[in-house]
Amino acid sequence: MSHKTDEREASVSLNQVSIRLGGKTIQENMNFQLAHGELVAILGPNGAGKSTLLKILLGFLRPSEGEVRVLGKTPRTGNQLIGYLPQFQSFDSMNTLRARDIVGFGLDGHRWGIGLPSRKREKKLNEVLEEVDALGFSKASFDEVSGGERQRLLLAQALISDPQLLLLDEPLASLDIGHAQEVISLVARVCRTRKITVLLVTHDVNPLLPHIDHVLYLANGQSALGKPEEVITSEVLTRLYGSRVEVVSAQGRHFVAGVET
């Protein structure tokens, strides 16, 4: 089931990786490699380790065992070649900041000093805002735009440093189906045109099916990687969950029955 690629080409690789949090085993013996330029959906029930896996790839957490390589290196925070969109944002009373200022954080928010405005910086900002189709509301404040527009802005923030790997933690949560579609096509377009690897955590794979290359399914301490039609099957999911699971497919959509997803 694991997708073998040339070591040099691998964007993300996990070798015998176990994840334990607070004495609880979240994942054991994860082995997989993701080739460069793939769009991969990470699926699985709550607590299966989807967000935790992203945090390991970002260098926030270390695996209890095994080796993780991201873009050929051991993960560490502050790698500008990784773009990250967290599941929760804590803007609170800073949500009156303008859209373009929030996107600009991705370019030089980590740098010391005040930072002076420059034409080059503005150009870069405008380019990425245009790429996510957000130029039209770049001067609106964060609390004035819709949920889908917010995700596009945060995607622009992640993209502005020209990353090789994008990690998106539930970017579709709390979006209605229309806005979710909008974000999905944007993510897919960005993945193909920029030729970068994208890992996207989601609860519903169906709207993503036309776009994704692979699915990484995490459940019950086990994982499986492969093409959607290979992984989202009654047989594979029953093995993962360790209990009877039925996948019902209708009109090109998959529904998992028998578990809380």
Partner 1 sequence: MELFELLGYAFLQHALIASCAVAACAAVVGYFLIGRGLTFAGHALPNIGFAGAAGAVFFGVAPVLGLFAFTIGAALVFAFLGKELHDRDLGIGVVMTFCLGLGLFFLAMYSGYAERVYGILFGTILGISEAEVRLTLISSLVTLVGIAAIYRPLLFSTADTESASARGVPIRLLAAIFLVLTAVTVSLAVQVTGSLLVFTLLVGPAAAARTFSRRPSAAIGLAILLAEAYVVVGILLAAITKTLPVSFFVASLSFGVYVPSRLLQRRRTWKR
Which CB, 138 or 222, lies closer to partner 1? 138
Which CB, 16 or 74, lies closer to partner 1? 74
CA 106 to CA 95: how far, in whole Å?
A: 16
User: Contacting partner 1 (CB under 8 A), which of 58, 129, 198, 236?
Assistant: 58
Residue 174 within binding range of partner 1, rule CB under 8 A: no
Can you read off the two tokens belonging to residue 20? 């334990």
Report the site for partner 1 in 80-109 (rule: CB under 8 A): 80, 82, 84-86, 88-94, 96-98, 101-102, 105-106, 108-109
All residues at 6 or more sequence positions from 11 whose CB lies less than 8 Å from its CB, including other chains: 34, 35, 36, 37, 38, 70, 71, 164, 165, 197
Q: How far is the CB of 79 from partner 1 (least distance, A)?
A: 8
- What pairs with residue 43 in β-bridges? 217
User: Contacting partner 1 (CB under 8 A), which of 77, 174, 185, 249?
Assistant: 77
CA 88 to CA 66: how far, in whole Å?
A: 28
CA 63 to CA 143: how far, in whole Å?
A: 37
CA 34 to CA 12: how far, in whole Å?
A: 5
**CA R_g for the chain:** 19
Which CB, 140 or 259, lies closer to partner 1? 140
Q: How far is the CB of 129 from partner 1 (least distance, A)?
A: 15
Q: How far is the CB of 20 from partner 1 (least distance, A)?
A: 22
Name the nearest CA neighbour of 232 among 198, 200, 209, 207.
Answer: 209
Q: How far is the CB of 22 from partner 1 (least distance, A)?
A: 17
- Residue 156: what are its φ and ψ, rounded to 5°? -60, -40
Q: How far is the CB of 87 from partner 1 (least distance, A)?
A: 8
Report the site for partner 1 in 130-159 (rule: CB under 8 A): 136-137, 139-141, 144, 154, 157
Which residues contribute to the site for partner 1 (CB under 8 A)? 58, 60, 77-80, 82, 84-86, 88-94, 96-98, 101-102, 105-106, 108-115, 136-137, 139-141, 144, 154, 157
